[in-house]
Amino acid sequence: MVGDWGGGDVADVMAGLDEALRRFDWIDPERLGVLGGSYGGFMTSWIVGHSKRFRVACSERAVNCQPSMFGTSDIGFLFNQVELGGIRPWDDMAKYLERSPLSYARDITTPLLIVHSEDDLRCPMEQAEQLFVALKTLRRETMFVRFPDENHELTRSGKPRHRLERFRILLEWFATYLPPAPSPAARAVR
């Protein structure tokens, strides 16, 4: 959301989740995971720094540090300026830091898988590296997966072997923290 990254957009996502939980009793509120890429990666990194609702998460190709994103992305420096309400970092560094998931690394306790491509010019590699190093330094449960010879489009047009490997890693990560729940019949037989 222009000028409010991590604000109204996160409120909308959480309201949608609350409504899904209200409507569908087969969703277990104690076994939730969250995953997103690009802006969804930002949202994932942001959400786990502001909520304990999810047991596991995966942030892919995300913006995690607004100040270092400014001027380093192939999208151009005006993108960050416009998206953060028309301000530049030196005009209001506090705003850039406030809207950076990295600023909330200390609050991230959800196991977080970070996936990034080495040739990503949209969200440069350092965006993933900074959050990963912060979480490792804080002794949080995290894993960082880098894909060589891939760019921001890995999930849509990456090499087939890398896309398959990404899926394998995601499934393994989520299965580790969200193992299959016993079926109702299995629970009844004791």
Instruction: Answer yes or no: 116 catalytic.
Output: no
Q: pLDDT digit of tens for each residue in the chain (190 aa)?
A: 788 999 999 999 999 999 999 999 999 999 999 999 999 999 999 999 999 999 999 999 999 999 999 999 999 999 999 999 999 999 999 999 999 999 999 999 999 999 999 999 999 999 999 999 999 999 999 999 999 999 999 999 999 999 999 999 999 999 999 988 777 666 555 5
Please give the CATH topology (third level) of the domain spanning 31-177.
Rossmann fold (3.40.50)
Q: How far apart are CA 45 and CA 64, in angstroms?
A: 7
Q: Catalytic residue, from 50, 73, 152, 157: name it.
A: 152
Are 173 and 56 spatial neighbours (Cβ–Cβ below 8 Å)?
yes
Q: What's the pLDDT score for residue 188?
A: 56
Q: In the chain, what are the domain boundaries?
A: 31-177
Q: What's the pLDDT score for residue 182?
A: 72
Are 112 and 101 spatial neighbours (Cβ–Cβ below 8 Å)?
no
Q: What's the pLDDT score for residue 71?
A: 93
Instruction: Answer yes or no: 103 catalytic.
Output: no
Q: What is the pTM of this model?
A: 0.94
Q: What's the pLDDT score for residue 18?
A: 98
